[in-house]
Amino acid sequence: MAEAIPVSPLAIEGRGDWEARRRRFRGRPKLIFREAWQDHPSPLFSAGQVRLGLVGMSLAVLADLRDREVFNPVRQFNVAPFAHGDTFEIFLQPEGQEAYYELHVTPAGSVNQLRWPRYFRELDVDWTALADPFLPYRVSRWRMRAQARTVAGGWEVYAEIPLRRIFEGGVPWNGSRLRVNFARYDWTLGRPQPVLSATAPLTRRDFHRREDWHELELRFR
């Protein structure tokens, strides 16, 4: 297993614009999107990267996503966006905790939050139900902070995930471990399927394959 990636606090920055954020993340751990489960990238694969840091007790994420066409009509909170257009996904599981979280952000900055009590494919999700099949797993008591913007050649996402909400067994401390994966659905208009990619070295095309995720070491000081 690869060594844990150290993640430490970002410098304090008075301005909160995108350029200030980029400066704060310079030199921070960088994870690259790929299709590790196959030998060659898909013809329409677009590059991307994620940088990581800490802001107080939150994991801060800055994603740079190359994209030929940026679109997703979903604007509402807690509506599954990945079947409708481009979606950035965040997966998190604290060390020693069975439950894990799946968080989505669209190019418009809308957020969808799910909590899986155990491995997703072991759950009896009723895909044929008239009601929302994700309803039992949605998280609405709190909301991560997320913003997105479209830029030339793609889009960017900034998010802060409150770790006190993710660590269910107690407040994370200096040296706590967190397994993560960042993934994306990259849709192209006129194409029946999106290109899927992830930062973790997945041995199968399964974003939930937790044994392949990155491991972070949180260093609050």
| Block mean pLDDT (10 aa), the chain, length 221 | 90 84 95 98 97 97 97 96 97 98 98 97 79 91 98 98 97 97 96 97 97 98 87
Both tokens of 102, joined, read 């799946």
- pLDDT score for 213: 98
Closest CA to 157 of 8, 22, 4, 6: 22
**Phi (first) and psi of residue 137, to 5 degrees:** -110, 0
Q: How many CA atoms lie within 13 A of 126 on its CB side?
A: 7
Cβ atoms 160, 62 nearer than 8 A: no
* Chain centroid offset of residue 198 CA: 9
All structural domains of the chain, each given as residue ranges with its CATH number in brackets, are 5-218 (2.60.40.1190)
- pLDDT score for 130: 63
- pLDDT score for 16: 77
- In this structure, the strands spanning 111-116 and 214-218 are unpaired
- pLDDT score for 1: 56
